[in-house]
Amino acid sequence: MVLDKNSSQIVLSALPWINLLGEKNTALTVSAILAIFLLYRFPGRAKGQIRESLEEALSQGGLILLITSAGGAFGGVLQQTGIAQHIQAWASGYQFTLLPLAFSVTALIRTAQGSATVAMITAVGIFSGMATSGELAFHPLYLALAIGCGSKPFPWMNDSGFWIIGRMSGMKEKETFRYFSFMISLMGLAGLAAIMIAAFLLPLK
């Protein structure tokens, strides 16, 4: 009992430090510093090579961060325009058209600003009122799945994932378009077709 009490006190006293080190920004910063230190200590590398490696990593990572940040800002602007009310008014009375509509809106937002996560969050904000109204002819899960599939199509140069896949795979922009963008867009369209069939056959209401 005494040992358990002491262990609990140790854990509680260390909890603020655990929370600090576990915070995502702190963890990434500490990891980057350790990686630079290990790179510097690794034998057989001159300081010039280390500097070139760091400059290349920062230039690639900085571009991805800027693109993602700009996409998030654009998504916030879309949410503040009141577009949700217009779409809800336009789609009232239509049931199964909501699935391709949710898919299309998410795909348009994703194509416009690049981030699949921001596109899904924005689309959920637009269609959440319809999902909770109780007037859907199918389970709201199908609407959520359509939004998820809508985040797949048409990734291009404003998408950080486009650059990560291209750079990590050694592909040029044209090759990334041809293979990655086409494949993931096809995945989204196939998913939408499967969701619409399932919502019609198994509405789960």
Whole-prediction pTM = 0.63
Task: Measure the CA–CA gap between 81 and 117, rounded to whole angstroms.
Answer: 19
Helix 98-113 / helix 182-201 crossing angle, nearest 10 deg: 160
Query: Whose CA is closest to 113, among 78, 150, 164?
Result: 78
Token pair, residue 113, equals 């600003």
Domain boundaries, the chain: 1-43, 62-201
Distance CA 160, CA 165 (A): 9
pLDDT tens-digit series, residues 145-158: 999 999 999 888 87
Dump pLDDT digits (tens) for 93-147: 666 688 998 999 899 888 887 878 888 887 887 787 777 666 678 888 999 999 9
